[in-house]
Chains A and B, each alone.
Chain A
Amino acid sequence: MIDRLRFVLHETRESLLRNATMQAAAISTACIALILLGSASMALYKLDATAQSLPSQFEAEVFLKMSATRQQAVELKARIEAMPEVERVTLTPREEAWEQQKRELADEVNLADIPNPLPDKLTVRVRDPATLPAVAQQIAQSPLVEEVIDSRQELQTVLSIARLVRWIGLGAGGVLLLAALILIYNTVRLTIFSRQREVRVMALVGATLRSIRLPFVLEGMVQGIVGGVLAAVLVLLGATLVSDYAVRQWPFLRDTPPGLPPLAILVGLPMVGALMGGACAWWATQRYVRI
């Protein structure tokens, strides 16, 4: 068993060291397809995580008029809480909100001498997101209310971007993956032709189909793994550069949740590559290696 394994590994190595151009073609195509797959996965993961960290689609923010007194705010809170659709209402007093704002912007502007421009705020949470527009509309009719912000809109924008990225990623990744599959298939097919003598000698001395085909399948897997490792390194490098640039341009992005862990890319892409390469090679040997 070990002798046969050693023979198969030796044959795989010999084959990989020959036909350098074809190997490079197969590896680079696998690499490009996997880069697309990896980037799309990372972008989607980040967008999903961001969407989840946004205020939930169960909530609306109600800003009161500056003229509304604290007493009126508390009464309004109680009235909203009494609505059957509402689960909970939280009051954020304007002093508290202003203190927080001053703390957050302390490095950038000095707000100490400015009078508090913020109104009281009520955060309304409903039991069923479908009732939110109706509840928001009803609250907006109160003469004490300046504005009602329904955060579902914000969420919808992020989700629609996520959907778009998902479809573009899936489409382009799918086309490139198919191209990579065909190229690896073709490389293995050409390798089989270039090793016709070995295949024939093995067949005539009585090697089993499996031991004749295995080196080719392993070769396809190695091409996939090498392409996957290269793709993982490039994707991680690219992600770091893009995220550094984006944070410099739009500092608020610093607060978004972390993306896909690098280890998932480093392990995942070579694994997908190995599967892809092995499957193509297996398919080619089924057609072209016969005894």
Chain B
Amino acid sequence: MVELKSVSVVYGEQHALRRVNLSVEKGEFVFLVGATGAGKSTLFKLLYGELRPSEGEVWVLGQPVHRLKPRELPYLRRRMGIVPQDYPLLPRKTVWENIAYGLRAIGYGESAVRQRVAQVLALVGLNEQARQMPNQLSGGEAQRAAIARAIANNPPLLIADEPTANLDPDTSWEIIELLMRINLRGATVIVSTHNRMIVDRACQRVVALDRGQVVSDVPRGGYPYELDRLYASVML
């Protein structure tokens, strides 16, 4: 599903990622953890082709992202749900329009849009907020709306960059529960975070990044002491 082979990203003389190897199988739920600046967002950008590796190979859904041409990227991205850390929602559009916008942009017809938006709104529990503007939503609701837009196309892979940032613990957990529900429906999910509470509670695979390198990869249901060591090293 996702494979990084000895990937490095260099900005000037600074290594954002250094010889990273990572493999994520179909149906997995993976937390990508690490302090700010560890390289989580850089790694995500590599997955959807917004950034090219300085060296190494990036394979996503069977596609060599590292050598895809710009005109080929959109067709890969249609098979991925991306919840970006920045600009999650369009401020001048309602929740309903935000979700519909993504579908229209890739050529969905009017009736298909109506059907899909209704389905994902029900899935993320935002039926009542459909006509609200983003500034009328709570942080958790806005994040759920962004997730709804990302999964509206029913993608086999979902990537969420810090979806629990600035959310209180209960709301953060609601978001993670939602992502795990989407995972149970068959999608592979990769989530970046530095929220220790949710990583502990979710008991999923945890890959830790520190200064651009993978320093630990704890499998699903891994031993608590491994996680402790992980937190001691990377989660400040």
Q: Is the CB of B74 within 8 A of A291?
A: yes
- Residue of chain A at shortest CB distance from B106: A206
Binds B, one of A96-104, A195-203, A222-230, A245-253: A195-203
B146-162 vs A: 1/0 string, CB under 8 Å?
Answer: 00010001000000000
A156 contacts B by Cβ under 8 Å: no
A188-211 vs B: 1/0 string, CB under 8 Å?
Answer: 000000001110111111111101
What residues of chain B lie closer than 8 Å to A167, measured between beta carbons?
Answer: none
A287 contacts B by Cβ under 8 Å: no
Interface size class of chain B, counting residues whose CB lies under 8 Å from the partner chain? 20 to 34
Please pick, from B70, B86, B104, the residue contacting A291 in the complex, using a CB distance under 8 A. Answer: B70
Q: Which chain A residues numbered 240 to 291 have a C-beta less than 8 Å away from chain B? A: 290-291
B62 contacts A by Cβ under 8 Å: no
A14–chain B nearest beta-carbon distance, Å: 8
A3 contacts B by Cβ under 8 Å: yes
Secondary structure type dominating chain B contacts: loop
- Residue of chain A at shortest CB distance from B77: A206
Q: Is the CB of B106 within 8 A of A291?
A: no
Interface contact tally, CB-CB below 8 A? 72
Q: Which chain B residues numbered 123 to 181 have a C-beta less than 8 Å away from chain A? A: 149, 153
Q: A204-B84, A205-B78 are in contact. Are A197 and B105 (CB under 8 A)?
A: no
What residues of chain A lie closer than 8 Å to B109, measured between beta carbons?
Answer: 3
What residues of chain A lie closer than 8 Å to B84, measured between beta carbons?
Answer: 200, 204
B75–chain A nearest beta-carbon distance, Å: 7
B33-58 vs A: 1/0 string, CB under 8 Å?
Answer: 00000000000000011100000000
Which of A1, A197, A211 gathers the greatest number of chain B CB atoms within 10 Å?
A197
Please pick, from A3, A203, A290, A291, the residue contacting B110 in the complex, using a CB distance under 8 A. Answer: A3
B79-99 vs A: 1/0 string, CB under 8 Å?
Answer: 110101011001100000000
What residues of chain B lie closer than 8 Å to A202, measured between beta carbons?
Answer: 101-102, 105
B108–chain A nearest beta-carbon distance, Å: 7
B137–chain A nearest beta-carbon distance, Å: 16
A103–chain B nearest beta-carbon distance, Å: 75
B107 contacts A by Cβ under 8 Å: yes
Q: Is the CB of B101 within 8 A of A201?
A: yes
Report the separation of the CA atoms of residues A3 and B100 in the bound assembly, to the nearest whole angstrom: 12
Report the separation of the CA atoms of residues A200 and B89 in the bound assembly, to the nearest whole angstrom: 10
What residues of chain B lie closer than 8 Å to A200, measured between beta carbons?
Answer: 84, 86-87
Q: Is the CB of B91 within 8 A of A197?
A: yes
Q: Is the CB of A205 within 8 A of B108?
A: no
B90–chain A nearest beta-carbon distance, Å: 6
Report the separation of the CA atoms of residues A204 and B153 in the bound assembly, to the nearest whole angstrom: 12
Report the separation of the CA atoms of residues A7 and B110 in the bound assembly, to the nearest whole angstrom: 10
A1-43 vs B: 1/0 string, CB under 8 Å?
Answer: 1011001000000000000000000000000000000000000
Report the separation of the CA atoms of residues A56 and B82 in the bound assembly, to the nearest whole angstrom: 76
What residues of chain A lie closer than 8 Å to B108, measured between beta carbons?
Answer: 3
Report the separation of the CA atoms of residues A243 and B71 in the bound assembly, to the nearest whole angstrom: 55
On B, residues with C-beta under 8 Å from A are 48-50, 70-71, 73-80, 82, 84, 86-87, 90-91, 101-110, 149, 153
Which 10 A-B residue pairs are closest in the complex by CB-CB distance? A206-B78, A206-B77, A205-B102, A207-B105, A7-B104, A206-B74, A197-B87, A204-B82, A202-B105, A3-B109
